[in-house]
Structure 1
Amino acid sequence: MVPSMWHRIAAVSGVAALGLGTYGAHVFKPQNPTYKEVWQTASLYHLVHTAALLAAPITKRPHIFGGLLTTGIVAFSGTCYTVALLEDRKYSTLAPFGGFAFIAAWASLLF
């Protein structure tokens, strides 16, 4: 995989982030309003880390940085979207792994 492939992954993730964010802002009406906040958190982390993916090709190890960010987006934001949509926290088991992937991605820039 060439480093510039991360721009395409960021593009797909960005489209998804904006679509899901728009859905959450205008359509999503959970019975429990707490889940609206969970959706907003997922959307924020999804969009911020998608923007960071654009920098992957210029990092020393783009596949590590990009891979960890992508893993974080899927595991953290994906889990939060699922929890909010189903209004059930039992699906939250992957969220901490996604959070650790985000931390590891940013820490990987130190090395």
Structure 2
Amino acid sequence: MGGKWKGLILFALQEGPLRFGELRRAVPGISERVLILQLREMEVTGLLHREVYHQVPPKVEYSLTDFGQSLNAAMAPLGEWGEEHIERIDAIPWDQMR
């Protein structure tokens, strides 16, 4: 579960299936290439399911598997912690730590 985008993708999918374009809008700042790579990794690891609908135009939806939903549930307390401490986190001079 490495990388900065996977948690945001999991969060975006918690309410139900999304198409690629919807996911890209739900995760601001992610490039198309990175989103594709992250989705592939998450599919291989069993966190999400990719459903291809054979129609014209083609339609693909991404949804969480039970495994992905369980990870989302495990990460919920961390998200709550982040929301509680967002002001302190935002005040950290991250650029000075490099």
In the superposition, the TM-score normalised over structure 2's length comes to 0.27
Q: Greater helix percent: which structure?
A: 1
In the superposition, the TM-score normalised over structure 1's length comes to 0.25
